């Protein structure tokens, strides 16, 4: 079945720096790749997603890139702020489920 | 614009008791998914339901776990004879279109189950 690997597991950056989180997936049938942000004790919140007919998508400080040939996708956060601190999960769809990575704990220090 | 609702938010059970978790999808959504999250882990798919139908339960343990989504009322995830290993956060998600159609899944706040 589908397997999603996510790296790094923890990431510490200074406020204003960029953060990059990378994921790889195994099933070439996956065609939808959302990213969720989860604060402690809260629900996962969708922050950006990309579909397989697109290579890159940007929304203000957040961007996602997808390389279907290599089966990997990445989240880029620019100009990080302390409120970006949270656990970030990538996921790949394999009908009907989302298969999640194990998460990256991002800490942004001011 | 009410999001996905789950209750209870916290549930404490003793070993051997039953746990019943409820999920009301977003308005206009008729597709419901249940996921389990162990501490320090990602979410693991359990089951996908449409109204009155279980579509995919490939991620759900064969014993003690069951799910339903009746014509009226919330979706329910039931865990019978709970064991300590069932302690986890259980999240429900919903979507407007069927799972697998590149459709966004929106998550509820979760039920945190603690088995003593």
Question: What residues in B contact A98, CB-CB < 8 Å?
Answer: 33, 35, 43, 45, 93, 105
Q: Which residues contact B83 (CB under 8 A, 6 or more apart)?
A: B15, B115
Closest CA–CA distance from residue B55 to any residue of chain A (Å): 9
Q: Does B105 touch chain A (CB under 8 A)?
A: yes
How many C-beta atoms surround the C-beta of residue A84 within 10 A? 19
Q: Which residue of B has its CA nearest to A31?
A: B102
Sign of CA dihedral A21, A26, A28, A32: negative
Calpha distance B48→B67 (Å, rounded): 9
SS3 state of residue B85: helix
pLDDT at A2: 80
Q: Does B34 touch chain A (CB under 8 A)?
A: no
Q: Closest partner residue to A100 among B4, B43, B110, by Cβ? A: B43
> Tell me: the pLDDT tens digits for B66-112?
999 999 999 999 999 999 999 999 999 999 988 766 789 999 999 99
Calpha distance A67→A50 (Å, rounded): 11
Q: Which residue of B has its CA nearest to A102?
A: B42
> Tell me: the pLDDT tens digits for A14-63?
999 999 999 999 998 899 999 999 999 899 999 999 988 779 999 999 99
Q: Which residue of A has its CA nearest to B10?
A: A41
Q: Closest partner residue to A103 among B42, B93, B110, by Cβ? A: B42
């Amino acid at each position: 079945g589908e397997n999603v690997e996510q790296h790094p597991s923890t990431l510490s950056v200074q406020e204003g720096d960029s953060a990059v989180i990378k994921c790889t997936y195994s099933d070439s049938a996956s065609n939808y790749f959302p990213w969720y942000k989860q604060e402690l004790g809260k629900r996962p919140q969708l922050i950006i997603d990309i579909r397989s007919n697109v290579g890159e998508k940007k929304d203000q400080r957040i961007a996602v890139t997808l390389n279907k040939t290599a089966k990997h996708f990445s989240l880029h956060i620019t100009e990080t702020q302390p409120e970006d601190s949270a656990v970030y999960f990538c996921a790949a769809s394999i009908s009907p489920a989302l298969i999640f990575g194990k998460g990256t704990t991002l800490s942004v220090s001011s | 614009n009410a999001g996905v609702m789950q209750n209870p938010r916290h549930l404490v059970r003793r070993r051997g008791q039953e746990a019943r978790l409820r999920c009301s999808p977003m308005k206009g959504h008729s597709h419901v998914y249940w996921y389990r999250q162990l501490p320090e882990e990602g979410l693991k798919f359990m089951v996908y339901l449409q109204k009155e139908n279980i579509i995919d339960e490939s991620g759900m343990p064969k014993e003690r776990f069951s799910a339903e989504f009746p014509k009226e009322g919330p979706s329910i995830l039931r865990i019978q004879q709970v064991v300590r290993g069932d302690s986890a956060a259980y999240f429900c998600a919903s979507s407007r279109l069927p799972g697998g159609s590149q459709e966004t899944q929106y998550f509820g706040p979760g039920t945190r189950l603690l088995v003593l």
